[in-house]
Amino acid sequence: MLTAALPALALAAAVPFAGGAPAHAAGKPIAKVCGPKHHYVIGFSQVDFTEPYRQHVDNEMQQLVKKYPQFKLVIADGQASDNTQTSQVENFITQRVDMLFISPYESAPLTPVVSRAYKAGIPVVELDRKTLGKDYTTFVGGDNFQIAKQAGEYAAKTLLPQGGDIAILEGLPSSSPAIERLNGFKAGIAGNPKLKVVGVQPVDWMEDKAVTVFSAMLQAHPDIKLVYTSNDLAAAGAYIAAKGAGKLGQVKIIGTDGLPGPAGGIRAVAEGQWAATYVYPTGAAQALHIAKQVLIDCASSVAKTVTVPTQRVDPANAKGLYAKLKF
Amino acid sequence: MSEQLVHPAPGRAKRRNPLAYFVRFQSLIGLVLVLAGGVVFSPRRHGQILFLAPDNIGNIIRSISETGIIALGMTFVIISAGIDLSVGAILGLSSVLTASLMINAGWGIVPTLVAVLVAGTLFGTMQGAISTRFGLQPFIVTLAGLQAARGLALVASHDNFINISYGHGPGLAPPAFGVLGDRLFHNIFPVAALVFLALAVVAALVLNTTRFGRYIYAVGGNERAARLSGIPVARVKIAVYAITGLASAVAGIVHAGQFSFGSPNDGAGYELTAIAAVVIGGTDLFGGSGSMVGTIAGSIMLGALANILQLNDVSAAMQLLATGAIIVAAAALQSFVSRRDREALR
C-alpha cells in the first residue's frame, strides 16, 4: 500500500518545488509532506568525522534515531571544508531530503547554501553552530555565552579568588561557538579585577595546535595560573604543554564539552588532570524531537531556538558522571 | 598530446595506433565512463535521473570551479616541466586581499579586482624569476612561496577572517560582487561554474593555437633543444608561473565571492587537487606533453565522482580511495605509452 502511495506523494511533493515559493505560511504545516504514515530522510551535514565531539554527536544521533522508525538518517562528512560541506548540502537539496540538520564548519560561507535549502522548502535545524541571518527553522544548541560565563565566574570566585595571570585558548574564530565562548568567559571573570588575561590565541579546536600555542604562552608568561579552553581537545593539549613545562601543579585547566569515554574531559577531571569542564550536550535528542514535530506531527510552527542545558563537571561529581555516561 | 619529432619504424606503427588513440583521449574516455556510471548509479525521483538534473550538473561544476581554475594554470606549468605548490596559498592570499580591500579599505569592485589579479600575477612572476635566475628547482621555490603567501595572508587579514557583507556605506562591499555566489538561468547554473568554463575555453585556445603554447611544449619536452632553436626559454618559464599566480588570484576572488568570506586558511590543499586533475587529464608530470582539454575533463571527472558517491551516501573514504586509484591508473597509462614511444624510436 505504501509503495503504491509513494509515487503519488512524490508527485505531490514535486509540485510546490516547481512553483518555488517558500512553504512556511502560518497555519500550514512546515513540511510539504508530513504525517505518521510516511518515511522520511533526514540529511545531516556534519563538520567533520574526526573530532571527538563530532563523533559523540553522530553516535548519539544514530542511537536516538532508532526511536523513530519513520526516519532514515544520513550523515555526511564535511571534512572541515567550506567547499565540501557546501557540495554536500547541495546534494541533499538535489536528493530532496525531508529535513536538513547541519553544523556549519564556518558561519558565513555556509549561509548561502543553507538559505537555498530553506527557501526550497526543506526545514533546517542548525546544531551547535549557526549560520548568519534567519534562514533556518530551529537552532539547537547550548548557550555558549552562558556556559563560558559560568566557567569565568567559577574561575574568578572559586579557583583563583586571589587573582593571577590567565590564558585563553580559543576555538576556530570563524565559527559561532568560539566567539560566544570567548566573550562569555571574559564577561564571567569581569567580577574579579585581580585576574589578568595575559594571552588569547586561537587553536582551531585542535589538540596539536593547543600544545604548540600553550607551550609558547608558558614560555612568554611563566606565571600563568589558569587556562580556559574552548573545547576538551584543546584542554588536553594544554595539559601536555603544562606537563612539558613542568608546571602541572601551577596551572589549572578548564575545558568545555565534557565528553564521556576514556579520552574525554569527564575522565580528565575525575583523575585530577583538569580543574573542571562543562558538559555541552549534543542536542541530538532535541533536534530529533523537532524533526518529529515537523514531519510526523505536521506542526505549523516550532521554537526558533532550543537551548540545551549545561552542567559543570568538577572533582566532586566527575567520578560519578564518568561511570554513568557512555561515549 | 605529444608532438612527434621522429617517425617510428614502419613495422611498428600499426601496433601503436589503437593504444595511442586511447591514451590521447584517455581523459575524455574516463570522463564518459564516470558520467555513464553516474547515470547508472544515480538515485531516481519519480523517473527523473537526479545525476543529470540541471542543478546537479551545475553543482558538480561549481564544486570543482576553484580547483579547476587553478588546474588550468597548473597545466601550463606542468607541460613546461615545472610545478607550482603555492597555488592554494595564493588563493588564500587573494581571497583575503579581496575581502580586505572591499570591506576594510572601502575600494570599489574594479580597483579591487585589478589589484588582486596584479598581486597574484606578480607573486607568480617573482617565483618564476627566482627559479630561473638562480637555477633553483620550482618545487623548492614554490614550496617557499606557499609559506610566504600564507604569511602574507595572515598579515593582510590581521590573523583573522573577514566577513563580506553587502550594501552601501563603510564596511560594506558593493552588492554587485555578490553575483559570484548567485545562480543564473532560473536559479540553476552557478556563476562560479560559468567563470570556470569561460576560463577553460580561453586556456585551451591559448595552449593549442598560440605560438606561446607551442613554446611551452617545446621547453617542457627538451629544454636544450628549445633554447638552441631560439625559443626564449627563461621568459617562457617565468610566464607560466605568472599564469598560475593569475589563475590562483582569480580562484581566490571567486572563493571570496561565493562564500562571502576571506580567510588566510582558504585554499589549503587545493594544489594537490589541481595537480591530480592535470595528471588524470593525461599530462606527463615530467613535461612536454599534455592537454588543456585533458585537465578540464580530469577536473570534471573528479567532481562527478565525488557527486555520484555523495548522492549514493557512500562514505568520503571511498571517494579518496577512488581518486587515488584513478590518479595512479592515469599516470601508469601515460608512462606505459611514453615507454612504447621511446621503444618505437630505437
Average pLDDT over residues A115-130: 94
Report the 10 Å Cβ neighbour count for A145.
18
Lowest mean pLDDT among A6-10, A178-182, B142-146, B252-256: A6-10
**Secondary element (H or E) of residue A253:** strand A252-257
Share of chain A above pLDDT 70, in %: 92
Separation of alpha carbons A27 and A291, rounded Å: 18
**Secondary element (H or E) of residue A311:** strand A311-313
Say how far residue B152 (Cα) sits from the centre of its chain. Answer: 22
Separation of alpha carbons A277 and A235, rounded Å: 9
pLDDT band at B293 (very low <50, low <70, confident <90, very high): very high
Contact status, residue A282 vs residue A255, Cβ threshold 8 Å: no
Contact status, residue B98 vs residue B256, Cβ threshold 8 Å: yes
Choose the closest CB to A109 out of B59, B260, B307.
B260
Average pLDDT over residues B162-181: 87
Residues of A with Cβ-Cβ distance to B319 under 8 angstroms: none
All three cell numbers of B143, joined, read: 614550496
Residue B161 Cα, gap to closest chain A Cα (Å): 7
In chain A, whose CA is at the least distance from the CA of B186?
A20
Choose the closest CB to B259 out of A87, A91, A108.
A108
All three cell numbers of A96, joined, read: 530532496
Contact status, residue B35 vs residue B47, Cβ threshold 8 Å: no
pLDDT of residue B24: 66
Reported as a single tens digit per residue, the pLDDT across A209-248 is: 899 899 999 988 999 999 999 999 999 999 999 998 899 9
**Pairing relation of β-strands A99-102 and A40-46?**
parallel
Choose the closest CB to A79 out of B62, B164, B316.
B316
pLDDT of residue A327: 66
pLDDT band at B119 (very low <50, low <70, confident <90, very high): very high
Separation of alpha carbons B278 and B298, rounded Å: 7
Is A95 an 8 Å CB contact of chain B?
yes
Bigger pLDDT: B307 or B90? B90
Residues of B with Cβ-Cβ distance to A90 under 8 angstroms: 55, 59, 62-63
Residues of A with Cβ-Cβ distance to B258 under 8 angstroms: 109, 112
All three cell numbers of A129, joined, read: 553552530
Reported as a single tens digit per residue, the pLDDT across B6-42 is: 554 554 444 455 666 666 677 888 889 889 999 998 8
In chain B, whose CA is at the least distance from the CA of A201?
B159
Q: What's the helix, strand, coil split of chain A in %, to 5?
A: 45, 20, 35
Residues of A with Cβ-Cβ distance to B311 under 8 angstroms: 91, 94-95
- Indicate the burial class of A187 (C-beta count within 10 angstroms; 0-12, 13-18, 19 or more): middle
Residue B261 Cα, gap to closest chain A Cα (Å): 6
Residue B81 Cα, gap to closest chain A Cα (Å): 30
ipTM confidence: 0.76
A to B CB pairs, distance under 8 Å: 71
Chain B residues whose C-beta sits inside 8 Å of any chain A C-beta = 43, 45-46, 50, 53, 55-56, 59, 62-63, 66, 160-161, 163-164, 181, 187, 258-261, 263, 306-307, 310-311, 313, 315-316
Residue A253 CA: distances (Å) to CA of A98, A172, A233, B227:
43, 19, 12, 64
Reported as a single tens digit per residue, the pLDDT across B130-148 is: 999 999 999 999 999 999 9
Residue A115 CA: distances (Å) to CA of A56, A91, A125:
27, 14, 12
Subunit contact B261:A74, Cβ cutoff 8 A: no
Nearest alpha-carbon partner for A150 in A285, A274, A309? A309
Separation of alpha carbons B72 and B58, rounded Å: 19
Is A119 an 8 Å CB contact of chain B?
no
Q: Is the dihedral of CA B253, B254, B259, B260 positive or negative?
A: positive
Average pLDDT over residues B297-324: 87
Is A98 an 8 Å CB contact of chain B?
no
Top-confidence range, A32-36, A81-85, A123-127, B11-15: A123-127
**Secondary element (H or E) of residue A102:** strand A99-102
Subunit contact A90:B313, Cβ cutoff 8 A: no
Bigger pLDDT: A219 or B217? B217
DSSP class of residue A51?
S
**Pairing relation of β-strands A224-229 and A252-257?**
parallel
Q: In what order do the strands lie in the sheet with A276-279?
A: A195-202, A164-170, A224-229, A252-257, A276-279, A311-313
Average pLDDT over residues B248-260: 94
Q: Does residue A3 carry a pLDDT above 70?
A: no
pLDDT band at A7 (very low <50, low <70, confident <90, very high): very low
Separation of alpha carbons A198 and B233, rounded Å: 55
Contact status, residue B276 vs residue B68, Cβ threshold 8 Å: no
Nearest alpha-carbon partner for A152 in A230, A243, A239, A248? A230
**What is the overall mean pLDDT for chain B?**
88
pLDDT band at A62 (very low <50, low <70, confident <90, very high): very high
A316 contacts: CB under 8 Å, gap ≥ 6:
none
Choose the closest CB to B56 out of A7, A49, A94.
A94
Subunit contact B259:A91, Cβ cutoff 8 A: no
Average pLDDT over residues A52-75: 93
Separation of alpha carbons A26 and A13, rounded Å: 19
Residue A7 Cα, gap to closest chain B Cα (Å): 6
Choose the closest CB to A82 out of B163, B259, B316.
B259
All three cell numbers of B223, joined, read: 629544454
Please give the single-letter amino acid code of residue A195: L
pLDDT of residue A254: 96
pLDDT of residue B134: 96
Residues of B with Cβ-Cβ distance to A7 under 8 angstroms: 46
Average pLDDT over residues B240-264: 94
Q: What are phi and psi of A235, to 5 degrees?
A: -65, -40
Query: Can you tell me whether residue A211 is helix, strand or coil?
Result: helix
Average pLDDT over residues A152-159: 94
pLDDT of residue B11: 46
B11 contacts: CB under 8 Å, gap ≥ 6:
none
Q: Which of B48, B59, B308, B321 to mutate to test the interface with A (most CBs of A within 10 A)?
A: B59
**What is the overall mean pLDDT for chain A?**
88
pLDDT of residue B330: 81
pLDDT of residue B343: 67
Choose the closest CB to A83 out of B63, B263, B311.
B63
Share of chain A above pLDDT 90, in %: 71
Q: Does residue B198 carry a pLDDT above 90?
A: yes
Residues of B with Cβ-Cβ distance to A93 under 8 angstroms: 55
Choose the closest CB to B43 out of A86, A95, A112.
A95
Q: Which of A54, A75, A87, A203 to mutate to test the interface with B (most CBs of B within 10 A)?
A: A87
Separation of alpha carbons A57 and A128, rounded Å: 10
DSSP class of residue A301?
-
B135 contacts: CB under 8 Å, gap ≥ 6:
none
pLDDT of residue B346: 52
All three cell numbers of A106, joined, read: 564556518
Choose the closest CB to A109 out of B259, B307, B316.
B259
Subunit contact B50:A95, Cβ cutoff 8 A: yes
pLDDT band at A117 (very low <50, low <70, confident <90, very high): very high
**Full 3-state SS string of chain B:** CCCCCCCCCHHHHHHHHHHHHHHHCHHHHHHHHHHHHHHHCCCEECCEEHHHCHHHHHHHHHHCHHHHHHHHHHHHHHHCCCCCCCHHHHHHHHHHHHHHHHHHCCCCHHHHHHHHHHHHHHHHHHHHHHHHHCCCCHHHHHHHHHHHHHHHHHHHCCCCCEECCECCCCCCECHHHHHHHCEECCCCEEHHHHHHHHHHHHHHHHHHHCHHHHHHHHHHHCHHHHHHCCCCHHHHHHHHHHHHHHHHHHHHHHHHHHHCEECCCCCCCHHHHHHHHHHHCCCCCCCCCCCHHHHHHHHHHHHHHHHHHHHCCCCHHHHHHHHHHHHHHHHHHHHHHHHHHHHHHC
Separation of alpha carbons A250 and A224, rounded Å: 8
Top-confidence range, A35-39, A200-204, B83-87: B83-87
pLDDT band at A293 (very low <50, low <70, confident <90, very high): very high
Query: Can you tell me whether residue A100 is helix, strand or coil?
Result: strand
Nearest alpha-carbon partner for B150 in B274, B273, B239, B270? B270
**Secondary element (H or E) of residue A278:** strand A276-279
All three cell numbers of B109, joined, read: 569592485
Bigger pLDDT: B336 or B311? B311
Report the 10 Å Cβ neighbour count for B255.
29
Torsion of Cα atoms, A106 then A107 then A110 then A112, to 10°: -160
Is A55 an 8 Å CB contact of chain B?
no
Reported as a single tens digit per residue, the pLDDT across A254-277 is: 999 999 888 889 999 999 999 999
Average pLDDT over residues A288-304: 94
**Full 3-state SS string of A54-92:** HHHHHHHHHHHHHHCCCEEEEEEECCCCHHHHHHHHHHH
Please list the residues that pair with A257 across neighbouring strands. A279
Share of chain B above pLDDT 90, in %: 56
